[in-house]
Structure 1
Amino acid sequence: MADLAEHYDTSILPARVYKPRDKSLVEGAVKILYRRIYAYLKDRKFYSLGELNTEIWRLLDIHNERKLTNRPYSRKDLFLEDEKPVLRPLPATRFEIKYQCVATVMKNGHVLLGHDKAYYSVPYPYIRKKVKILYTSSTVEIYHKYNRIALHKRSYKPFSYTTEPAHLASTHRFVSEWSASRFLDWAGGIDPAVGDYILQIIESRNHPEQAYKSCMGILSFEKRVGRERLINACKRGQEFENFSYKAIERILENNLDQRSPEEEQHSGDQLPEHANIRGKHYYN
């Protein structure tokens, strides 16, 4: 309510709880309108909202032009003579309701607005800190300890990234360039098998943006384990028909990229020797 009052440059004085006399004039006006408008509409049928609204406006005009009891003027006369001359112009923009939520800044310098599943950048010093997000139908404001640290135009595209390059540390500025074509070109430059695997990940998502973090994680394995192992891991992932970052991670952790399917099947047939493992002869 405070935001509404500030937007229209006015004051709001709420009535006390369970004190109907604080707003007796309002209660009286509601009662009169109920009798003069709602009562006339109660048993009538309307076939569109526009038709109903037209009739409401007609009855409201009759109500406003009706002379007040024991007065030579109507409500409309009173408004035109006394109130309208002192009215100020409405603000240039309409009031927008603000909603809020709390989020933690991710390592890539973005926060997630869960309502839209969209990401927005903040200055990199706030990484891993809790922030408050205030958002309207058109803007997203991000605050840290009552200080606004970012302002963005609201995006309604799920899993999209809205990024201000100046917010990001040099190591994170590549995030603003994330796109499906960029990851496909990068993966294809490593090997066609890697390119095919990344393509499968992107196509398996409802929105390409959902796959970007997985693609980035998979392609980063090239520096960590080498190009050859990444290529073999993607080939094994395709054999398993499992397309995800976790699948590649497990393949590399278990060295499955360095073993052929035949070796893996053969090793699975051989049980290790152990004193507690008994053959069928034990039961003879």
Structure 2
Amino acid sequence: MDQFIELEKQALQPLHPLRFEMRQTTIVTVMKNGHVCLHTDKHYYSVPYTFIGKKVKLFYSKSHIEIYYKYELIARHERMKGKSHYTTERAHLASFNLHIADWNPERFLTEANNIHPDVEAYIKEVLLKKAHPEQAYKSCQGILSFAKRVGHNRLIRACQRAHQYGLYHYRAIENILLRNLDQTEIEVEPTHMPKHDNIRGEEYYT
């Protein structure tokens, strides 16, 4: 018997070091930028761009994300918890979407701060106001592009004026610049704004 036990012990394989993890699943649609959203974390993961617009099944555990189209595994990622961030495998992206992989809040805030602290403060509000990161990133990219088109000083004043009216989007900055409102003095808003037909409302700037 002892000899039998010894032989059996030699034949035994070590237990797998990974513990079994419970998985949950959800069905999502691949967005136009080639990512899917795990709404539990509000985090975005890339899939091959050929699946854009397709409904896929997303399996997720505490540590990993697996994405299937029908019965085919098309992407696997380590699960991340960064809210409104992207996890992107560059090979997944079409050439026209490659630049999106480098977009993140820190990049836009740094670029804005290099122009002026008021521009950085404005961009921070844009990032906070938008429900979807991709929308916020596109808006930030468009706003910051005005620095090359009209110069730093005009963009700074446009951001200051838009901030005064609580408008945090690309169209507000564009309209302020088109109407040369950045060239006029910014009035200090009184505590109680009187209601008067001649006072321009928010719609004037949007």
RCO higher in structure (CA 8 A, sep ≥6)? 2
Q: Deviations over 1:40-69 (max 9, x none)?
A: xxxxxxxxxxxxxxxxxxxxxxxxxxxxxx
Asked if the contact 1:251/1:257 (under 8 Å) is kept, the reply is no
Could you say which residue in structure 2 is the equivalent of 1:146?
71
Give the structure with the higher percent helix.
1
Please identify the structure whose Cα radius of gyration is greater. Answer: 1
CA gap of 1:163–1:98, structure 2 versus 1, over 3 A, is: same
Which of residues 31, 40, 57 is equivalent to 1:115?
Answer: 40
**Can you give the 5+ residue segments of structure 1 that lack an aligned partner in the other structure?**
1-80, 271-284
C-alpha separation in 1, matches of 2:176 and 2:105? 29
C-alpha separation in 1, matches of 2:145 and 2:126? 20
C-alpha separation in 2, matches of 1:193 and 1:88? 63
C-alpha separation in 2, matches of 1:238 and 1:250? 10
CA gap of 1:195–1:119, structure 2 versus 1, over 3 A, is: same
The TM-score with structure 1 as length reference comes to 0.50
C-alpha separation in 1, matches of 2:125 and 2:109? 10
**Residue 120 of structure 2 is aligned to residue 195 of structure 1:** yes
How far is 1:121 from its partner? 0.8
The TM-score with structure 2 as length reference comes to 0.65
Most deviating of 135-144 and 156-165: 156-165
Could you say which residue in structure 2 is the equivalent of 1:227?
149
SS of aligned partner of 2:95: coil
**Can you give the 5+ residue segments of structure 2 that lack an aligned partner in the other structure?**
188-193, 200-206
Asked if the contact 1:198/1:215 (under 8 Å) is kept, the reply is no
Could you say which residue in structure 1 is the equivalent of 2:190?
none
How far is 1:183 from its partner? 0.7
Could you say which residue in structure 1 is the equivalent of 2:91?
166
How far is 1:134 from its partner? 0.8
Letter in 1 for 2:28: A
Give the structure with the higher percent strand.
2
Could you say which residue in structure 1 is the equivalent of 2:198?
269
Asked if the contact 1:109/1:123 (under 8 Å) is kept, the reply is yes
SS of aligned partner of 1:166: helix
How far is 1:221 from its partner? 4.7
